[in-house]
């Protein structure tokens, strides 16, 4: 069957399609049906099945002859360390850690926050939680203590599992002071922490509260897998929304297993036993789905890469890993290739390596610009597939279903909707528009298995954020169009979310931080185009009357404040003092117009603008930092 037939077979009979896909999963009790729609528009999948994620990702492969196959390859150019962990070793390590957590009282339904760098223990911690039916929430290492505290207060974890440090090029990031600071700031206090001591920087442990990763496991019985209901939350992953309060995306257990398993062959075209590599971070959804769960559920070998595309040690590092570990399918963000291209435009490093095992390269996380796709394709001689998805969906909404049928690539499009997703372009009134017409991208409900059923402890926010604007649809927050062949084009976000180096950030959250500066009366943050990172945040601040300190002092404090409150990952380095912000007569800040000025794009003067002269001031300010030059 080709793509069209598979997509049609899903559309004709979704229930049969998803029950058949569910056969690939080991159930403790088979679900009686796929979709549970009694509470529509809140949908659930496989709710009455009983299943365990860790069993499906680890133990079942040990039982079925993959015991000695590599499950995880750790490759850390930043430390020079490499390690291969087989499925049986992974099972024993995970069962032991789960046993230790259980002995400390962690049970099904308890939350556990994981704050770890790219080491295999991060995956082991996730899987140990899954083994017990505990709900993990991984927090990216580039977030500051305050962001960690917000997540602790929302998830109310029984325990936090962390490493003593993360490693950035030229910098050791000591995690323990950040964790201590976060726990102090948070109203909720976890019962205990588990700390993986790394030799680059050991943390000081508080007796009786902080437990050493290995010490804690001594003498405890390994834990068995605890079957959970299909709709039991497997994890919570916080992502940026319009305001400073992150959204806790919930992933339900059974749909997650079924959808990720389906995606490994049909989208990434790997067979069990082959090596799959997603160069991302466990703190992001790509890391959850395609460093940890997807490849392991499907019986692949996954790679935990602790390094950067360039500088660890050079722009050949991706190609070295692909050659050395015989990677079949490789997944990363376009920004990573932009970084490689900038250092090695002619592919000199690439020539040193043999990429014959590699079949294809997959890009996601941000818009894939045609230059980057074409360069990567020309240099590697491999097909490059863009695909589009979000933290909320957990897997591809639109992509090239290469394992079913490689569709012709149209550069600029992530290709076509995957089975399970009825993608539509809607006008402002919520009516579907014709081909090649821009509009809001929405997905007809129900969303497929593996996608978010709700937000953690915030069902009203879930309904308001995603289900209200277009009744009967899920609002993606992206705008775009579909052409006459059904190919999707993603053009822009419809909200205040920006994408910096493949990292999703909220300009609203940055504005909240800037507004807390005592000298700032008003502010706006926009995302301007950047050749390397896709977008970069720029902050505009208007000062409180009477403040006459040097502007550079204030902007430097603003930059530091965002780094301290949100974290280095915000990449907030550009702040400008201006007298006024451009607004409509009703007081709405014209952020989109400011973006157009920064990016030298044509724009129509908004009819409702209060005072057009302010735009010239904005342009002058932007020109002082090299933007808005025309
Ligand atoms: N822990 C602590 N700090 C971190 C961090 C982590 N896990 N990840 C990033 N940071 C810091 C960086 O050190 C940098 O700090 P600095 O301001 O002191 O230089 C800051 O956060 C910004 O990081 P980033 O935007 O990633 O920029 P960079 O200059 O370090 O690297 C790229 C640029 C393109 C090489 C890098 O962003 C990259 O590899 N991107 C791949 C994208 C990706 O994996 N996306 C995930 C979704 S698929
Ligand atoms: P995240 O939740 O961090 O994965 O970010 C999801 C958002 O990133 C999407 O809503 C898009 O705005 C953007 N995005 C992800 N993949 C793509 C892609 N292939 N093309 C364009 N934008 C993308």
**What pLDDT score was predicted for residue 538?**
98
Question: For residue 365, how far is its CA from the centre of ligand 2 (angstroms)?
Answer: 4
CA distance 87 to 297: 11
User: Average of pLDDT values for 294-311?
Assistant: 98
pLDDT for 179 beyond 80: yes
* CATH 3.30.300.30 in the chain, residue ranges: 505-623
pLDDT for 414 beyond 70: yes
Under 8 Å CB-to-CB from 381, ≥6 apart: which residues? 355
Q: Is 388 in the pocket of ligand 2 (CB under 6 A)?
A: yes
Q: Is 568 in the pocket of ligand 1 (CB under 6 A)?
A: yes
User: Average of pLDDT values for 563-587?
Assistant: 95
For residue 379, CA distances in Å to 343, 369, 374, 471 come to 14, 16, 8, 46
**What pLDDT score was predicted for residue 31?**
98
**What pLDDT score was predicted for residue 383?**
98
**What pLDDT score was predicted for residue 630?**
63
Tell me which of 3.60.150.10, 3.40.50.720, 3.40.50.300, 3.30.300.30 is the CATH number of domain 505-623.
Answer: 3.30.300.30
pLDDT for 51 beyond 80: yes
pLDDT single digits (tens) 580-624? 999 998 899 999 999 999 999 988 888 888 888 999 999 999 999
pLDDT band at 510 (very low <50, low <70, confident <90, very high): very high
Question: For residue 190, how far is its CA from the centre of ligand 2 (angstroms)?
Answer: 33
Task: Look up residue 393 and give its DSSP letter.
Answer: T
pLDDT single digits (tens) 147-160? 999 999 999 999 99
* CATH 3.40.50.12780 in the chain, residue ranges: 3-307+387-480
Under 8 Å CB-to-CB from 541, ≥6 apart: which residues? 514, 517, 520, 522, 523, 554, 555, 558, 575, 576, 577, 578
**What pLDDT score was predicted for residue 243?**
77
The residue ranking higher by pLDDT, 165 or 613, is: 165
Was domain 3-307+387-480 assigned CATH 3.40.50.12780? yes
pLDDT band at 629 (very low <50, low <70, confident <90, very high): confident
| Ligand 2: residue whose CA is nearest its atom 21 | 367
Question: For residue 492, how far is its CA from the centre of ligand 2 (angstroms)?
Answer: 9
Q: Is 535 in the pocket of ligand 2 (CB under 6 A)?
A: no
User: Average of pLDDT values for 180-199?
Assistant: 98
| Cis ω before 41 (30° cut-off from 0) | yes
Q: Tell me the whole-structure pTM to 2 decimals.
A: 0.97
Atom of ligand 1 nearest to the CA of 140: 7
pLDDT for 298 beyond 90: yes
pLDDT for 242 beyond 90: no
Exposure string (b/e) for 355-367, b if CB count within 10 Å is 16 or more?
beebbbbbbbbbb
pLDDT single digits (tens) 95-120? 999 999 999 999 999 999 999 999 99
Q: Is 414 in the pocket of ligand 2 (CB under 6 A)?
A: yes
pLDDT band at 509 (very low <50, low <70, confident <90, very high): very high
CA distance 380 to 258: 32
| Ligand 1: residue whose CA is nearest its atom 5 | 142
Average pLDDT, the chain: 97
CA distance 493 to 258: 29
User: Average of pLDDT values for 11-17?
Assistant: 98
């Amino acid at each position: 069957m080709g793509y069209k037939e598979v997509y049609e077979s899903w559309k004709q009979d979704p229930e049969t399609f998803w029950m058949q896909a569910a056969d690939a999963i080991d159930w403790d009790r088979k679900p009686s049906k796929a979709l549970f729609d009694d509470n529509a528009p809140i949908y659930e999948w496989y709710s009455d099945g009983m299943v365990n994620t860790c069993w499906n990702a680890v133990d079942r492969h040990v039982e079925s002859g993959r015991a000695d196959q590599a499950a995880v390859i750790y490759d850390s150019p930043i430390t020079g360390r490499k390690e291969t962990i087989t499925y049986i070793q992974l099972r024993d390590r995970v069962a032991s850690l789960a046993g230790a957590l259980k002995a400390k009282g962690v049970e099904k339904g308890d939350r556990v926050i994981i704050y770890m760098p790219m080491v295999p223990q991060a995956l082991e911690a996730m899987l140990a939680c899954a083994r017990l039916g505990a709900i993990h929430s991984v927090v990216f290492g580039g977030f500051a203590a305050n962001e960690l505290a917000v997540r602790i207060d929302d998830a109310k974890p029984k325990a936090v599992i962390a490493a003593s440090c993360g490693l950035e090029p030229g910098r050791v990031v000591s995690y323990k002071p950040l964790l201590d600071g976060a726990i102090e700031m948070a109203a909720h206090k976890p019962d205990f922490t588990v700390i993986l001591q790394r030799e680059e920087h050991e943390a000081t442990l508080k007796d009786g509260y902080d437990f050493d990763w290995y010490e804690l496991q001594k003498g405890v019985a390994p834990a068995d897998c605890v079957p959970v209901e299909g709709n039991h939350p497997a994890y919570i992953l916080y992502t940026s929304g319009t305001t400073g309060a992150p959204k806790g995306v919930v992933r339900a257990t059974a749909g997650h297993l079924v959808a990720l398993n389906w995606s490994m062959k049909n989208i990434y075209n790997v067979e069990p036993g082959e090596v799959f590599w997603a160069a991302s971070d466990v703190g992001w959804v790509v890391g959850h789905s395609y460093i940890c769960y997807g490849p392991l559920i499907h019986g692949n070998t996954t790679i935990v890469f602790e390094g950067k595309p360039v500088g660890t040690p050079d722009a050949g590092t991706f190609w070295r890993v692909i050659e050395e570990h015989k990677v079949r399918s490789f997944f990363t963000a376009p920004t990573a290739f932009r970084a490689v291209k900038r250092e090695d435009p002619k592919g000199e490093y690439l020539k040193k390596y043999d990429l014959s095992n590699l079949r294809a390269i997959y890009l996601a996380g941000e818009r894939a610009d045609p230059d980057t796709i074409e360069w990567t394709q020309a240099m590697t001689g491999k097909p490059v597939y863009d695909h589009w998805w979000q933290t909320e969906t957990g897997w591809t909404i639109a992509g090239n279903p290469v394992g079913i049928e490689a569709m012709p690539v149209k550069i600029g499009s992530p290709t076509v909707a995957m089975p399970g997703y009825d993608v539509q372009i809607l006008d402002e009134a919520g009516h579907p528009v014709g081909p090649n017409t821009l509009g809001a991208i929405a997905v007809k409900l129900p969303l497929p298995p593996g996608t978010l059923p709700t937000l953690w402890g915030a069902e009203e926010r879930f309904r308001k954020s995603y289900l209200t604007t277009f009744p009967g649809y899920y609002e993606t927050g992206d705008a775009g169009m579909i052409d006459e062949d059904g190919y999707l084009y993603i053009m822009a976000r419809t909200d205040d979310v920006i994408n910096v180096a493949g990292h999703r950030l909220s300009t609203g959250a940055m504005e909240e931080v800037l507004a807390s500066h005592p000298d700032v009366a008003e502010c706006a943050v926009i995302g301007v185009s950047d050749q390397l990172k896709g977008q970069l945040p720029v902050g505009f601040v208007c000062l409180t009357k009477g403040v006459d300190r040097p502007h550079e002092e204030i902007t430097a404090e603003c930059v530091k404040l965002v780094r301290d409150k949100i974290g280095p990952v915000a990449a907030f380095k550009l702040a400008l003092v201006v007298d006024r912000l451009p607004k409509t007569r009703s007081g709405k800040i014209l952020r989109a117009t400011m973006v157009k000025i920064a990016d030298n794009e044509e724009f129509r003067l908004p009819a409702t603008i209060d005072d057009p002269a302010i735009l010239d001031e904005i342009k002058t300010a932007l020109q002082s930092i090299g933007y808005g030059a025309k």
